[in-house]
Amino acid sequence: MCTIVPISKTVGANRIVPTIAIPHPLGNPALPADEEKALRRKLVEKALNALATEVDGQTVFE
Amino acid sequence: MSKFRVVHYLNQFFGQIGGEEKADIAPLKKDGPVGPGAALNGAFKGEAEVVGTVICGDSYFAENMDTALTQILEMIKQYNPDLVVAGPAFNAGRYGTACGAVAEAVIKNLGIPAVTGMYPENPGADMYKQSVYIVKTADSAIGMRDAVPKMAALGLKLLKKEEIGTPEVEGYIARGIRKNYFAADRGAKRAVDMLVAKIKGESYTTELPMPAFDRVPPNPAVKDLTKATIALVTSGGIVPKGNPDRIESSSASKYGKYSIAGITDLTKETHETAHGGYDPVYANQDADRVLPVDVLREMEAEGKIGKLHDFFYTTVGNGTAVASAAKFGQAIAADLKAAGVDAVILTST
């Protein structure tokens, strides 16, 4: 899970989930706490989904 | 002007004592050049001469480094040299390590220049390239004819205190030293020129070589998340408050392994970030923003995943050497595998 997807691609990550921002990849301080947590949950669900998906090469899960 | 005096360091084989069976001989000295020392002597073209040769068995050196170095330095000193040349060692590991160590000790303790030569993959190269000029050679004595003149030339430059050029020009192994210089064209123009050449398919030389990144085949998908143990790993530097193991904010030399057993949420009282490469405010307020423990705990409680692994692994990805990161990754992966973890969520900043 990373914000700068081209970096993850360069170093060879196979399952990549783009995140919010460098200082808070899984958060957004501009949002109220409960919305921020819901956002984090959605991103982590995407990551788990990626782990459970067959891929044959580097794949970005938008 | 009198000739510069040079001492040549050789192992038992090039010193014409014997082969592997003589690798345990203690240091000895012989006046004048021995073996390849003759070629070295010639390569100085009269400006310097090999006045003495110090020979030591590779195994003796490897097993008695401190005493061997002391004895070797003593013998070298007796010739009152201006320069020491060691090897070339080509790809011989013990010999390369000895040459590097001797050259480094000469520079440090005798205050005179030293030069050696080895194949870039020789273990001695990585160990000593920063403190000693190591001429790049072939991996066997076939490269003697090529190596000796380069070592002599570099030696003479050091003796005459001339400016030493780039690794490419002088033929030594890059030491990783950055030297500022004024380029004729400004950086923007050089970058665009390079890009145009690249687009045209013409050759260009990068000013900064990129590390080589490997590729691994993707692992098969997790079959059943509800039964899987998921672990968290991060390069975002999340650590227990106070950074107990002092993971560095840049160029991390280590990673940490910390328990989150029983922890359902990271707070500003319990965790912080050690990472010096991004604004730490948000991670310090709530480390879940980098290491999403809170939502994974909820999903564990709901049965969406089998288990959140009791430990998370962390390091600081800021300016951390690729080689270090690879080492950490291998160690962490071994640990995770041994613990029966099925999949990892790796977060980075």
Round to whole Å and give the CA distance between B128 and B121. 12
CATH number at residue B12: 3.40.50.2300
Residues of chain B with Cβ-Cβ distance to A43 below 8 Å are 292
Round to whole Å and give the CA distance between B85 and B132. 11
pLDDT 10s digits, A25-60: 999 999 999 999 999 999 999 999 999 999 999 999
- Residues B243, B148 within the same domain: no
- Residues B165, B238 within the same domain: no
Indicate yes or no: CB of B294 within 8 angstroms of CB of A37: yes
Task: Say whether pTM exceeds 0.95.
Answer: no
Contacting B with CB below 8 Å, chain A residues are: 1-3, 7-8, 10-15, 19, 22-27, 29, 36-37, 40-41, 43-45, 47-48, 51-59
- Residues B241, B125 within the same domain: no
CA distances to A27, B97, B147, B234 from B211, in Å? 31, 25, 27, 21
pLDDT at res. B119: 95
* pLDDT tier for residue B109 given thresholds of 50, 70 and 90: very high
Helices (H) and strands (E) in chain B, counts: 11, 13
Q: With H, G, I as helix, E, B as strand and everything else as coil, classify residue B159.
A: helix
N residues, chain A: 62
Residues of chain B with Cβ-Cβ distance to A37 below 8 Å are 294-295
Within a domain: residue B154?
yes
- Residues B164, B229 within the same domain: no
Indicate yes or no: CB of B348 within 8 angstroms of CB of A25: yes
Average of pLDDT values for B41-65?
96
Domain count, chain B: 2
pLDDT at res. B1: 58
B174 reaches A (C-beta below 8 A) = no
* Range in B78-87, B111-120, B178-187 the model is least confident about: B178-187
Domain count, chain A: 1
Average of pLDDT values for B278-286?
96
Within a domain: residue B146?
yes
Within a domain: residue B196?
no
Domain boundary among B152, B170, B188: B170
* pLDDT tier for residue B211 given thresholds of 50, 70 and 90: confident
Round to whole Å and give the CA distance between B48 and B43. 9
pLDDT 10s digits, B297-313: 999 999 999 999 999 99
**Over the range B17-53, which residues count as b (16 or more CB within 10 Å of their CB) and which as e?**
beeeebbebebbbbeebbbbbebbbebbeeebebbbb
Choose among B296, B294, B245, B295: nearest CA to B274.
B245
Range of the domain at A50: 5-60
pLDDT at res. B296: 98
Domain boundary among B135, B170, B205: B170
Domain boundary among B105, B137, B170: B170
Within a domain: residue B107?
yes
Residues of chain A with Cβ-Cβ distance to B283 below 8 Å are 23-24
B211 prior amide bond cis, ω within 30 = no
Choose among B131, B126, B108, B118: nearest CA to B11.
B118
Round to whole Å and give the CA distance between A22 and B191. 27
Range of the domain at B300: 225-347
Under 8 Å between Cβ of B72 and B8: no
Choose among B240, B245, B233, B243: nearest CA to B266.
B240
Average of pLDDT values for B224-240?
98
Average of pLDDT values for B141-164?
96
Cα of B225 to nearest chain A Cα, Å? 7
Indicate yes or no: CB of B221 within 8 angstroms of CB of A51: yes
- Residues B21, B161 within the same domain: yes
Average of pLDDT values for B221-248?
97
pLDDT at res. B176: 81
